[in-house]
A and B are shown apart, each in its own frame.
Chain A
Amino acid sequence: AQKITQTQPGMFVQEKEAVTLDCTYDTSDPSYGLFWYKQPSSGEMIFLIYQGSYDQQNATEGRYSLNFQKARKSANLVISASQLGDSAMYFCAMRGASTGNQFYFGTGTSLTVIP
């Protein structure tokens, strides 16, 4: 069974500071992918970053980086130099080899950037 856990229902960060959003996962699949999505108040889901379980290096996409610790089964999202526009819900998701096309989402973290 696949499970994604986000333990931070809400987070606050000062503008221009860095913030880490936590995500842990559980899977028996040897091969899997981890994703982070951003959902602004408008409702759309925006892809941010992807990490494959066999990737040797942590993924980075602009101000987003994924702190992947395979042994701990964690895939935390780090947002550097926070901007007001970063205020949104953030979802961690996983897709495993055994689950085919199905993505499993965490419960989300609401991030508020304070000016």
Chain B
Amino acid sequence: GAVVSQHPSRVICKSGTSVKIECRSLDFQATTMFWYRQFPKKSLMLMATSNEGSKATYEQGVEKDKFLINHASLTLSTLTVTSAHPEDSSFYICSARGPGWGEKLFFGSGTQLSVL
């Protein structure tokens, strides 16, 4: 299957700082990437959908200015948590779809963000 690489896997930061998470499709062109947030033992909550070269579409209740998403190329999308606060601590996971893979959605390995 296709490989989606997500970095970093774990990050600890101070409150008020910004954190960038990268999501790369290694062996396919990801026309669409998704960013999810997951609380412990909970389901995935879709935060936003990003299409290469255009602005991300955010789900209701997700702050666009806090969670900046950039999908600058067909293989890279980034999520920047700006001015992070302890309540932003969570597991963030990206996924990607691309031509040739049909309905399959491939996920990164996730990023555990801890804001002190």
Contacts and interface: CB of A to CB of B under 8 A. Distances in A.
Q: Is the interface of A mostly helix, strand, loop or mixed?
A: strand
Nearest to B44: A105
A47 B106 contact: yes
A95 B46 contact: no
B103 A95 contact: yes
Nearest to A33: B103
Interface string A70-108: 000000000000000000010101010000111101111
Nearest to B112: A43
A100 B2 CA distance: 21
Nearest to A46: B107
Contact of B97 (A42, A44, A101): A101
B15 to A, nearest CB: 23
Contacts of A47: 1, 104-107
Interface residues of B, number: 23
Given A91-B44, A103-B34, A106-B43, A44 B108 contact: yes
B32 interface: yes
B95 interface: yes
Nearest to A50: B103
A64 interface: no
28 contacts: A33-B103, A35-B103, A37-B107, A43-B91, A43-B93, A43-B110, A44-B107, A44-B110, A45-B95, A45-B107, A46-B107, A47-B1, A47-B104, A47-B105, A50-B103, A50-B104, A89-B41, A91-B44, A93-B105, A95-B103, A101-B32, A101-B49, A102-B46, A103-B95, A103-B105, A105-B43, A107-B43, A108-B43
Given A93-B105, A103-B95, 18 more contacts: A43-B93, A44-B107, A44-B108, A45-B95, A45-B107, A46-B107, A47-B107, A50-B102, A50-B103, A50-B104, A52-B103, A89-B41, A102-B46, A102-B49, A103-B46, A107-B42, A108-B41, A108-B42
